[in-house]
Amino acid sequence: MEQRKRVGKLPPYWLFQLRLFPWVPYLLYQSKQAHKSSPKLPAQSSLLTLGKGENHILLLGESTVAGVGASCSDLSLAGNFYQLLGESYQIESIGKKGLRVKDALSLYYQQRQVPVPKSKGIILFLGANDCFLLTSPIAFKEEIETLIHQIQKATNVQWIYLAAIPPVHLFPAFSKRMSFFLQKQRNYLQAELEKIAAKNSIVIYQEIPMNLQPEFFSEDEIHPSDLGYQKIAELVVEKLSFTPLNTP
C-alpha cells in the first residue's frame, strides 16, 4: 500500500476560529470582489453520460465534476476519463457548482441518469465549498462518511476514489490573506479525509500535486482549464491503475 503524506497534528479547531473571527468582514468583502471580477464560466458536464460500456463509473462532486472552466464536454473531467478508459466504460457525471458534501447525496438521488447501476467505482471531488463556507471538521467527517456508506449501499460499488480537496489556497484569484485562512481550513478538512481513507478498505485516497502552473487554471483563475482537467484525469487514472478496474 502506498504511503500517504499526512497532514501534521493540528491545533484545536476553535483556536483557528478565534484567529479567523476578526478577519471575517474583510474576507467576505474579498470573496465578493473576487466573485464580481471573475468571468462567469458555464458548466460543461453537470449531467452527462458518455459511452455504453459494461464498466460503469460515476463522477460525483462540485464544479470540477460539473466541468466549469472546460471549453466543451469532451474536454471536461468526464470527457477526459472516457478518452483515457475507452469504450468498455460508461462514465456518468453528476456535478454542481457550489455543491457541499451535505448536499451531495440528495443531488445523486435527484439527478442520476442510469437507474441504480452496479458501478465499478465512484470518483468523488468534494470539499472546496466546505472550505469556503467553513464547515466544521466534525460535521465534514460525518457527512463524508454518510455519503460513502449510502453510495456504496446504492451501487454495490467495488471502490471509491476520494480526491483530496482542491488546493483552494493556490487559486490565483484570491488574496494572500484569504489564501492563508483557506489553507488552514483545508488542512483541518484534509485531516478528516485521511482518517476516513485509513480505516475504510474500499476508499482510494489521493493528494493533489501542489506545483500547479498558471496554465492549469481557466480564465477565472479558480477552476481548471482544459489542460487542468486533462492533468487531473491522468493523475486519477494513473492512481487507479493499482485497482482492478475490469474485475467482475
C-alpha span between 144 and 192 (Å, rounded): 9
Q: Which residues in the chain show pLDDT less than 50?
A: 1-5, 246-248
Q: Nearest CA to 52 among 92, 93, 90, 91?
A: 90
Residue pair 76/48 in contact by the 8 Å Cβ criterion: yes
**pLDDT value for 243:** 57
**pLDDT value for 119:** 83
**pLDDT value for 8:** 63
**pLDDT value for 95:** 96
User: Which class for 178: exposed (0-12), middle (13-18), buried (19 or more C-beta within 10 A)?
Assistant: buried
**pLDDT value for 138:** 97
**pLDDT value for 67:** 96
In 3-state terms, what secondary structure has residue 32? helix
Record the cell numbers describing residue 237, joined without a space: 487514472
**pLDDT value for 115:** 66
Residue-range domain boundaries for the chain: 13-240
Q: How far is CA 40 from CA 100, 126, 131, 160, 177, in A?
A: 20, 20, 20, 31, 24
- pTM for this predicted structure: 0.90
What is 13-240's CATH superfamily?
SGNH hydrolase (3.40.50.1110)
**pLDDT value for 160:** 95
For residue range 38-66, list pLDDT tens digits in order.
788 999 999 999 999 989 999 999 999 99
